[in-house]
Amino acid sequence: MRLILLGPPGSGKGTQAQRLVQQYGIVQLSTGDMLRAAVAAQTPIGLKAKDIMAAGGLVPDEVVVGIIADRIEQPDAANGFILDGFPRTVPQAEALDALLKQKQMNLDAVIELRVNEGVLLERVERRAAETRARGEAVRADDTPEVLTKRLHSYRDQTEPLIHYYSDHRMLATVDGMMPIEEVTEEIGRILAAVGKTSGSRAAKKASPAKRSGKAASKAPAKKAAKKAGKAAKKAPKAAKSAKKAAKAAPKKAAKTVKKAAKKASKAAAKATKGTRKTSAKSAKKRSKG
């Protein structure tokens, strides 16, 4: 699974990314973390980035694109990755598209964490206090002054990505004001709807593997029912969760997700129907499940 987490500083991208790492066994690629490591190690990139970061500006596109290009090729990223803090500009997003195409990789989802700006300062201050309490060094850019600049950078240069990915039918928006656990659940539902559940074969069979829904529409009902076997039992449940996620998705992305949910629901119905035909007795059992 490959996904992007979008959101302003303090929106919870890092927290959610860490949870997804645990859940899906993929790596979190945070350009902010990588740049901070480069600054600490005083590498040429670090020396270039240090002042820009301290002032709340954005490091040049070619620098971060170069970092990501190298990073996604590492063996630990083979299973998938979460991009946290990248891309941050439209040119970075375009460069990422080209990069993924070149490497024959595809992106599964772009999830925006939407929050009220008013809470961001409070959240960032809390993060700084918690870091201090752990005896760790507080980020130089976690101050009210720099945060204001980082928010400006986000509004001017990163927010256009919401339209970019929405136009590409990749965007799903989650209310980042909800409790952490609920945000995680919501993200899980969205990922399930795009056919990327962590291990459920049933959901994989029932919901289209791709956003386009091609995978589901390819399988004729009988064949699907035969193949699905036990999975058909769980299929309506998966379709239900896909529908739920479609409901939760933003209006623009909802179209895409809804389409997938509709197809999943159809596939589930067909699968159940096909199985019923094969064995009325077992079908009765299945419809109960």
Residues that bind ligand AMP (CB under 6 A): 9, 31-32, 35, 52-53, 56-59, 64, 85-88, 92, 141, 150
The whole-angstrom separation of Cα 140 and Cα 263 is 49
Shorter beta-carbon distance to ligand AMP: residue 65 or 202: 65
The CB-of-129 to ligand AMP minimum distance in angstroms stands at: 17
The CB-of-146 to ligand AMP minimum distance in angstroms stands at: 8
Strand partners, 112: 6, 173
The whole-angstrom separation of Cα 122 and Cα 102 is 41
Phi and psi torsions of 81, nearest 5° = -155, 160
DSSP 76: G
| Three-state DSSP state, 96 | helix
Shorter beta-carbon distance to ligand AMP: residue 35 or 193: 35
Shorter beta-carbon distance to ligand AMP: residue 47 or 247: 47
Shorter beta-carbon distance to ligand AMP: residue 130 or 182: 130
The CB-of-280 to ligand AMP minimum distance in angstroms stands at: 57
The packing angle between helices 180-193 and 230-248, to 10°, is 120
Comparing every residue's Cβ against ligand AMP, the nearest one is: 32
The CB-of-74 to ligand AMP minimum distance in angstroms stands at: 18
Shorter beta-carbon distance to ligand AMP: residue 92 or 166: 92
- H/E element, 29: strand 27-30
The packing angle between helices 144-153 and 117-133, to 10°, is 130
The CB-of-152 to ligand AMP minimum distance in angstroms stands at: 11
